[in-house]
Amino acid sequence: MKILLLVFSIVIGATTMSNASQFVFKSADGGVINLEDFRGKPVLVVNTASRCGFTGQLETLQKLSDTYREEGLTVLAVPSNDFNQELATIEAVKEFCSVNYSLTLPMTEITSVRGKNAHPFFKWVKETTGFSPKWNFNKILIDPSGKVVQTFGSLTRPMSGAITREIEKYLQLGLSVQVSG
C-alpha cells in the first residue's frame, strides 16, 4: 500500500503540493532557491525576459525589493524563454541584468513557466488558481503561509498601488505570524 501511495504521489506531481513553500528552483548562482526559506514572509515571483518590451520593469522590481526587503519581502526573478525573448544562457542574463539594472534580486536558472515543460511551481499555480503566465513579467504574490493570494499581468507595474497595497497587507501579516508563531 505504501508503494502505491508513493507511486501515486509521483504521478500526480504538483497536485500533491499544499503550498508554495514546498517548491525548489535551481539558482542562477548555482545551488537552489528553496521557497521554504521564505516561509512567514511574502514572495513576489515574476517571470522575466531580457528582450521583452516590459524588461524595463526590472528597474522597478529592484526598487520594490529595495523598498520592502527589510520588512521581509522577497522578489524572485524567474528568467524564461517561453515567449522567445530571453538570452541564450543564464550567464548572459545575469550580466545583462547586472549591467543594465544593477539587479540584486534572487534569480533562478532559465525556467519554463507554462505548458507541459513548466516548472512544477507554475504547474501548481495553474492547477490551484487557474493562472498561467500569458506573457513575460506576470507576477504571482505568495502570502506568508505559502498560498497564492494574487496574480498580476504584465501591464501591472511593480510599484503600482495594486501590488504595493497587497504586499503591505502581507508584510503586516508576516510580522504577526513570526511574532506569534
DSSP-derived secondary structure for 23-69: -EEEBTTSSEEEGGGGTTS-EEEEEE-TTSTTTTHHHHHHHHHHHHG
Count of structural domains within the chain: 1
> pTM of the prediction?
0.87
* 64: in domain: yes
Out of 20, 28, 52, 93, which one is annotated catalytic?
52
Each residue's pLDDT expressed in tens, for the chain with a length of 181 residues: 444 333 333 334 444 568 999 999 999 999 999 999 999 999 999 999 999 999 999 999 999 999 999 999 999 999 999 999 999 999 999 999 999 999 999 999 999 999 999 999 999 999 999 999 999 999 999 999 999 999 999 999 999 999 999 999 999 765 544 444 4
Any idea what DSSP says for residue 99?
H
Helix (H) or strand (E) holding 5: helix 2-12
* 169: in domain: yes
Q: CA torsion 103→109→112→116, rounded to 10°?
A: -160
* 2: in domain: no
Q: Which residue has the cell 507595474?
A: 157
User: Looking at residue 11, what is its pLDDT?
Assistant: 39
The values of phi and psi at residue 152, to 5°, are: -135, 140
Using a 10 angstrom Cβ sphere, with 0-12 exposed, 13-18 middle and 19 or more buried, the burial of residue 8 is exposed
- Contact partners, residue 102, CB within 8 Å, separation at least 6: 62
Q: Is 97 a catalytic residue?
A: no
* 14: in domain: no
Structural domain including 49 reads: 19-180
What CATH number is attached to the domain comprising 92? 3.40.30.10
* 131: in domain: yes
